Amino acid sequence: MAVKDAWTHLKEFTAARIALGRVGGSVPTGPLLDFRLSHARARDAVLTPFEPEVLGTELEALGEEVVLLQSGAEDRAIYLRRPDYGRRLDEDSARLLKERENEEADLVLVLSDGLSTSAVMKQAVPLLEILLPMLRRDGWKLAPICVVKHGRVAVQDEIGEILNAKVSLMLLGERPGLGSPDSLGAYFTYEPKVGRSDADRNCVSNIRPEGLPLAAAAVKLCYLLNASRELKLSGVELKDESPLLERGEETSSLGTVGDGG
């Protein structure tokens, strides 16, 4: 017989796995099956094939120019085993960008699958529907949006350098947790160029309806990008001095990390 946990009444306040109860020395069947389902969803988030063409079509429907690119990782298996391949463009993609007549831009947006394909496919375009008007309102001159297959965080530095962008902002799927297989991460770098370190970047993470809502994430990103442009820096020297989020929007984080490698 399952023994009820004394913390059961606290479960309504968190999605964390607490107060599971027990049967002898094991957890009950229900929580065990729920754990296995979450694990399967996390694996699916990593292994589901990325469809950059679909994402590109959705972005073009917003009136945006889109460039489809490929990292140095030829397939998902190589991408997972060799993070360094995902940090650079392949030769054809680098040549494609260099052959463009690029005018200096304030900001280049880069989208990639990262470690959760479902995150970028579900959250990226709805987030940009909110963020893009805010950026244009504040006078940002945008480069074409780059969609990179099998990209890691650092690939934004190479793209920003080639396109002469003052700032690069990358949206990609974060490493999925058991309860959060669809979290989107947003990383930005001032004066992007090959060789930048994670200390030069900022990150707004856990962007999803159950974490940091999209509207709140757009406000946070717009504030930080404007601060980065004004102060001409990013990374550990850029502090988040924006007003506190309203209750219910607090599950965000700002840091200087590179979870997507």
Classify the C-alpha dihedral 78-128-176-57 as positive or negative. Answer: negative
Element (H, E) at 198: none
The answer to whether the beta carbons of residues 165 and 156 sit under 8 Å apart is no
Q: What is the pLDDT of residues 116-157, one digit of tens each?
A: 999 999 999 999 999 999 999 999 999 999 999 999 999 999
pLDDT digits (tens, 9 = 90+) for 215-248: 999 999 999 999 999 999 999 999 888 776 554 4
Topology (CATH) of 52-231: Rossmann fold (3.40.50)
- Domain positions in the chain are 8-13+20-47, 52-231
Closest CA to 171 of 230, 217, 105, 213: 217
CB burial readout 129-167, b (16+ within 10 A) else e: ebbbebbeeeebebbbbbbbbbbbbbbbbbbbbbbebbb
Confidence (pLDDT) at 2 = 72
| Backbone phi and psi for residue 17, each to the nearest 5 degrees, phi listed first | -85, 85
Q: Return the CA Rg of the chain.
A: 20
Count of residues for the chain? 261
Binding residues: 153, 174, 203
Binding-site residues for adenosylcob(III)alamin, in ranges, read 153, 174, 203
| Nearest by Cα to 15 from 208, 173, 203, 260 | 208
- Residues 195, 157: contact at Cβ < 8 Å? yes
pTM of the model: 0.86
Burial of 36 (0-12, 13-18, 19+ CB in 10 A): exposed
Spell out, as residue ranges, where the chain has pLDDT lower than 50: 247-260
